[in-house]
Amino acid sequence: EKIHNIIFDNSADGSAVVAKEIADLIKEKQAKGESCILGLATGSSPIRVYRELVRMHQDEGLSFSNVISFNLDEYLPMEKDNRQSYHYFMHEHLFNHIDIDPKNVNIPNGTVTGDAIIEHCLDYERKIKEAGGLDFQLLGIGRTGHIGFNEPGSHHNSATRVITLDHITRVDAAPAFLGIDNVPRRAITMGIATVMSAKRIVLLGWGPNKADIIKKTVEGEISSQVPATYLQEHSNCTFVLDKGAASEL
């Protein structure tokens, strides 16, 4: 397997290292007068990375003025100002606290309906390409082995599209939605090919609940049944784990 693992005592230490890598990349691009294209993730896993980036902005003057961001996914249907939306999450945890240009923030739009959805997905792919492609993609991992919302069965050639959420994924999301009946059944997600096109990928895994899926992902056969296993074929992918998540490796 090609995935490189780094194991930390705790998620705070791992998150600090990942935030530093992102900050260094932003600065390196700034020095060259280039944009930095970041693929960003939601969920509990990246929260500390975002907190550290906000701290660097506030304490060290790290500027995000050259950053163009593309989030992995959004529920469908989902209003932007809904507290469960990934739009809300990203603004709450990162965008409201840094100097990124709002027009450089891209998040799949959970309010599109009907035929406009397909056009929206194509447009999302187009925007990533026009920006120059993803320099860095941050990932968490779901218990089904999904990255973004690429659930089991996702094809390695898949692009940004609508996906039906796995039951396990909806169970895991239920507490935040105060009951599974309130969890949307679908989402818009970047595809496997979209994620794999990133020049650099870092996946975060914290806690013993992730140990089983991390083992399957790192040591298992590459399979559409565990979409994260596709990452084994990426030439520059690192898993940043704590002891709990790495406990079965």
The reply on whether position 14 binds ligand GLP by CB under 6 A is no
Binding of residue 141 to ligand GLP (CB under 6 A): yes
CA atoms within 13 A on the CB side of 243: 2
Residue 164 belongs to what H/E stretch?
strand 161-164
Listed ranges 102-110, 136-144, 193-201, 236-244: which one lies at the site for ligand GLP (CB under 6 A): 136-144
Query: Judged by CB under 6 A, does residue 41 bind ligand GLP?
Result: yes
Cα–Cα distance for residue pair 169/146, rounded to 1 Å: 9
Axis-axis angle for helices 11-31, 47-60 (nearest 10): 50
* Stretch near ligand GLP under the rule CB under 6 A, chosen from 10-18, 35-43, 103-111, 123-131: 35-43
Indicate the burial class of 20 (C-beta count within 10 angstroms; 0-12, 13-18, 19 or more): middle
Helix (H, G, I), strand (E, B) or coil at 147: strand
If you ran DSSP here, which 8-state letter would residue 221 be given?
Answer: P
151 is catalytic: yes
- Check residue 140 for interaction with ligand GLP (CB under 6 A): yes
The pairing of strands 36-40 and 186-189 is unpaired
- Please report whether residue 220 would count as binding ligand GLP according to CB under 6 A: no
The catalytically annotated residue of 57, 87, 93, 146 is 146
At residue 45, the 3 state secondary structure works out as coil
Is residue 73 part of the annotated active site? The answer reads yes
Q: What's the min distance (Å) between Cβ of 30 and ligand GLP? A: 27
Q: Taking the C-alpha atoms of 221, 202, 104 and 188 in order, what is their torsion angle to the nearest 10 degrees? A: 30
Residue 110 C-alpha from the chain's centroid? 16
**For the window 80-119, what string marks contact with ligand GLP as x by the rule CB under 6 A?**
----------------------------------------
CA 52 to CA 118: how far, in whole Å? 36
Q: Is 43 in the site for ligand GLP (CB under 6 A)?
A: yes
Binding of residue 39 to ligand GLP (CB under 6 A): no
Q: Does 45 bind ligand GLP (CB under 6 A)?
A: yes
Quickly list H helices, the chain.
11-31, 47-60, 86-93, 116-131, 167-173, 192-196, 211-219
Q: Which is nearer to ligand GLP, 66 or 75 (CB)?
A: 75
Any contact of residue 183 with ligand GLP (CB under 6 A)? no
Residues β-bridged to residue 76 = 186
Least distance to ligand GLP, CB of residue 63, Å: 26
Q: Which segment (2-10, 37-45, 59-67, 215-223) binds ligand GLP by CB under 6 A?
A: 37-45
Residues lying near ligand GLP in the complex (CB under 6 A) are found at: 41-45, 72-73, 140-142, 148-149, 169
Catalytically active residues, by annotation: 73, 146, 151
